[in-house]
Amino acid sequence: MKIDLGCGAHKREGFIGVDISPECGADVVHDLRTTPWPFADSSVDEAYCSHFFEHLTGAQRVDFMAELYRVLKPGALATMITPYWSSMGAMQDPTHQWPPVGEGSYYYFNKAWRDQYGLSHYGIHCDFDLEFSFRLDPALAQRPPQEQQFAARFYVNAVQEMTAVLKRQ
């Protein structure tokens, strides 16, 4: 089973769309802020979530990730796409919640990272391996890699979007 979380009107082909709005054509109408989600433990082969996660508060993000961990099969992947924390896209939508999403937003959901920084008291129990990729502003796309890396690190709006691929341990 593959699920598209917060699919809106753009459900990914081959995925079961999950959204709060019955008007968008979701296969499963469910508020993803409400747990448990209507899926059994370790029943999902793959999850996809594009431009939904940033609409959750910090506390809701923790609950979302716990549910994602619960429903994914061990070794399953979840692809999360959000505006990058330093982009205008992260700030302009008044329905986006604070804080904006960056790589560090996901580190808390990796057990080794929590252990390294002494954060086991946070009560977060999921364990995802993490990989990140970035969509640069088109003006940087043809620049040499060294310039792209410098811009991504130091310039606002250089990175427009981040994709995090999480692998459930």
pTM listed for this prediction: 0.95
Q: How far apart are CA 56 and CA 79, in angstroms?
A: 16
Structural domains in the chain, CATH included, are 2-168 (3.40.50.150)
**Residues 113, 107: Cα–Cα separation, whole Å:** 6
The predicted pLDDT at position 145 comes to: 95
If pLDDT is split at 50, 70 and 90, which confidence band does 155 have? very high
What's residue 9's pLDDT?
95
Per-residue model confidence as pLDDT tens digits over 93-129: 999 999 999 999 999 999 999 999 999 999 999 999 9
pLDDT digits (tens, 9 = 90+) for 59-82: 999 999 999 999 999 999 999 999
